[in-house]
Structure 1
Amino acid sequence: MASAVERTDELVREYLIYRGFSNALKQLDADIKADKDKGFRVDRILEQLQQLVLSFDLAGLREYWAYLEKRLFSRLEDVYRSTVHKLRTSLYRYYVVSTIQRVSPEKTQEFFLKLGPELQGQVEWRDWFVLPFLQAPEQNPLFATYFSRQWADTFLVSLHNFLSVLFQFPPQPILLNFDVEVQRMITVSEENEQLRQMLFALQMDCRDQQEQSLVHHKLPPYVQNTDRLGDTELCKCCHASSQKLPVHVPPPPESQDLPAAPQSSATVASPGQAALGRKEPLSKKKGDSEVDSPPLEPSSRAAAQGGAPSLEHPFIKLSQEEYGEHHSSIMHCRVDSSGRRVASLDVDGVVKVWSFNPMMQTKATIMSKSPLLSLEWATKPDRLLLLGSGVGTVRLYDTDAKKNLYEMNIDEAHPRILSLACSPSGSSFICSAAALSRGGTGEGRRVPVTASGQLLLWDTKTVKQQLRFSLEPEPVAINCTAFNHNGNLLVTGAADGIIRLFDMQRYDCPMSWRAHDGEVYSVEFSYDENTVYSIGEDGKFIQWNIHRCGVRQSEQALAQEATGPFVLSGYSGYKQVQTPRGRLFAFDSEGQHVLTCSSSGGVIHRLTGGESGALEAVLSLGGHRAPVVTVDWCSAVDCGTCLTGSMDGKIKLSTLLASKS
């Protein structure tokens, strides 16, 4: 109740400020300051009583107890009258003993002079009138118990428990019930998430049994445990250097200018569908009115050239909300694994942790003296946040307790923490550390290709470094990292343009290949985890087959507004330039659609498949006035939620509904 009262006081104060009711606000603050109920916080009431005892304010003590009797105790049934009387007697004895222990005989005499007429008729005080005349009352068998610390603690605990129970009796105002409702909604959401994960696990087990019946040869152990991989082995023999790797790139059709990107979709299940344990997209019935999606941007329409644009939109944008607590360009914006919280980081190093269900609300603000360059949610528990700095440290932050749990010193020679990735098991995390650029810290830019780097594995529980990976042909800055679904494989993209695939059971790199001319900015596994997608400095979106080392499965050229560097023009010819740092593309829960950046919002594309890997733009989310620099797509709930962060510090949260199968 106390927490709900304090939160309601803050909401009322915020409302009065918003309405400009300054007199009412002053009166509210004055009443809160003089509040004898102490906000229904028992600890503050006990502090007040103890303060009155320590200051020998007998009149104030009697007045405050009389207020409690009138305000609270008078409502009790007669059966509790004896309990209240015993507590008052113990409080007065606590006061008298305190005066003797602190050698204030005048205060002891004052107590009996003022309260003598009231107490002399009470049996429990009959022997206490001799107390001021005893030389060592603490040694007297009759009073020794009351001078012990155990008796004082027992009395205070009893009074605390009595008041705590008492505050639960009176009915709460309707305004205070919102806290209970919010907690109930959170509990229901968590239960639904647990049931959804159980259902997904059962579906995956059924799928695994079907796939195992088709396997005709034995896979390596680390691939056998990778449920989503097909039945072809990883090619370990192509530990290729960038000069020796054969690259087979099918020439894209001349009519295709569109960047290639993975697809994603989110669906909403009706109650009947939920009972079957499936999420089916809603389809239109004959006669229903058409729902128009927002028009595609020119860049999105251009991206769809080379093929007939689809007349049907797979998604309906239900709503779009804005989070505007940042005051500078966004660097990273990530949703946790449960889909309940978002962590966003701007170029000023300010981190905001916020929720959007049932309402958009900031949960924590993290300020740092040193610059922050990267962030990542832990998987177990998902309330923990990893924060990488520019001075060689990684902080483990508890978003519920709002405090740092631990700060790890990574490497003084490689102080820039460019990327963090937490293993799905939650037992470890990957940290990419890079040296400073030759010209300084290089704010607003990634570390140049010539900068060296390290890729480290840290244990989350012991908070110690487990090992350092070998980066061939030479130590280089790793820009981006991503685990597969069970943590057996790790893919990285580096500043030298090479993608490296690591076996996390053997801690080696079975394959690597040159992927881009320039740096690799963003890399992710596909849904089936047989391929890897990447975006690089050369503006290409490429799909790589991880079973055939260095073989491109598809390639698409993207516009600069989707890959960076991002440019924000201002007054008098001023331009702000930002090199990509966060995630540049994100898939939906089924890997059929992909969300990419654009100059005015996120754009959703359908992956058409085939060797060309053409992207078909199906929906422009819009809503931004500055270039979008990072995206994320959360499908933990039935309605898919897209996040787009821009250079003006605004984050748009778009809720989607699948409109067709």
Structure 2
Amino acid sequence: MASNSGGNLNSSELDDQIREYLVYRGFTAAARSFEAELAKSNSGPAINFTNTVSSGFVDKSCNVDKIVDTLMNLIAAHDLVQLTNLWSFLSKKFFWSCDSGQSSALRKIEISLYRCFLVNCVTSGRSDKVLEFFEKSSKLLPQYDWGEWYGLPYVKNPELNDRYAPFFQRAWQETFTISLHNFLNTVFLSVPKPSLLNHRQEAALVLNLRDENFLLKEQLLTKQMQARNSFEKISSLDSTIEAKIPTESELKELQARGNADVPITDGQSLENPGKTTSKATLVNGFGLRQTIKSAMPKGRSKATVSSSSKKKSPLTARKNEDVGKQKSGSIPGTTHHQIENGGDSCQSNAVKMSLESSLPNGSSHRGQRDAQSVGDSLLRSRVSGLNSSTSTSSYSLHHPNSSDPYMILSTDEYSCHSSTVTHCYFSPSGKRVASSDGSTVNVWSLENSSVKTLATFASSNSKARILCMEWVPTKDDSLLLTGNDRSVIRLYDVTTSKCIREVETPVTFPVVIGLACSSTGSRLLSSQTSASHVTGSVICWDLKTFQIERQLALSSQNGNVKALTMDFNHNASLVALGCSDGSVRIFDVQQNEQLMHWAASTVKMVHVSVINVKFSFDDTYIYTMSSNGILTKWSALKPGTKFSEFALSQKSINFNVGSHHSFPKLFAIDNTNSRFLVPCENGVQILTSSTEDGFRVSQKVSNWPGKAASCLDWAASANILTIVSGANSNSLLVRHMLAK
């Protein structure tokens, strides 16, 4: 049963699953043997199930009686280490799913458990164990719950003291035991099955996800092929139309067949008739422009122009007749083709008119018939091309710039917020979006290419304002954290729209301005400020139990520094902080030690804060966004080493912080460290980064004329981008883009 010495993460997880299964079934003797083997192999702290607990099992739920007996026996044996380990194990494996009501009861039960331990130590005369308790557990004990109890070791006859006397009574201890038993019964009624019992369901889920992923890949390839075929049809249609337009040599050949002067056209200059040209510009439905030029004879006088304008030739009359028919919707020479688009009919007649104007005045009837024949054949081909274009793909309605690497497939708008949207975040899987306007949080689902509201929840206190959000990494994207300016952090289940956990921050720092969750889902960082927003604090929480692990020490010359943004590295051992004094700080979370520190801005006499910070996916770089709109790439190994930077224009800086100093997300990065999303003057822009060229603008996406994005995020894969952004309004835009 023993695992290898220094086992890897998988063996540690398996040990936890076996321990969880044994406790669930009530196999306490087997659990005791298993923990003894683990202790011998030095693979982790052992939970000593004392010999007073007999073996047995419960078929459908945990054996609460045996767990309570084990806790009481550890208290009687004054074994603080094993008591703490067992309670931490129960909290991690079973208590994490408690709702907000059970969380407050859990906190009271835990405090009473340790007070019962202290009372038993004092009664047995083990004052050394009392001192050991306060020395080892002082970092985990809230001051407002244990302030009076720190004097217990120095009070003579505490059982006679009014503060401690009620806890030394037998009635209190019996009441606590009953409360502990009832609480465990309540929790275990809804406890999920151990992971070992769910292996078949997990395997089936993995197979289903694999099949679904395969189908989605096939659908994506099909859509990509359809898009390419559509653009190929468009390109071939443009080439066909361009090939059927008469060339300059063909027009000169028609002109050479005539014997008289060419009547002056609209494109001919009266000031300099010797250098006139006739131009007919064709504009098709896809943006193609083709200009036909024909050389005009020299030596025309103004008198000739005026006389020719008064005397109408047969071709001129024919031209006017064509114009009249054009207005009525019919085209000469075409009996089976109708052009419904007025602009296209004008372009089609412009072709024929330019052909007629290129013929000499008074030419032979053969020249007229040739010109008419060429013009009619050209017109028929043009009409045929326009009619065929009406059945092309809808992508032709929005033809992107040929230099853009992505084309826009669709645009969706969210407009259910009652006030300005301040934050928007994609879930880790990219299937959901959470947005907040300060009083309400909406969660949107993007599955199956449709947009629908999945959950909506508001702050329970009408005066509280939601200042930050953070997704908890889970398989189903179901957990979302929020922080407000009333010392409260809440954990929501977005599938049920219910608050399942609530915790209060220290009263000295009531304004929660930032949250950061580790990719493993085990740790949470919260950044708080005082009510005056002068000083700040960063607290590290155990996300399973919501117990405070440690408080990061922020030091500054003037003492007034706040962490405005935070990000964990891949294994949650390091955290990067962007601070209000313009500095970047790297902390070792385990040792609670600041490893690196440097100033992100070298501009003197100008106050610049770091409002966004992000580790690269390989932890070799750190990217920061400053309040003056500068995106910078730093080395994560050499403090202060800058590789490149990109400065946003003044019109691209559009965020509104307000009085709470809570900043939105203003840049996003893909998993290759090569593509970035930042605001631009009319929406958002995609940047690319390389070692040689630094940051370069790859494509701009216009969302709001004259407005830059005030909050943004994206879900980026190799070929598909899904971008969400807002611009100080009560709506969000989501654009789906495909690589060309």
Q: TM-score, normalised by structure 2?
A: 0.45
Q: TM-score, normalised by structure 1?
A: 0.50
Higher helix share: 2
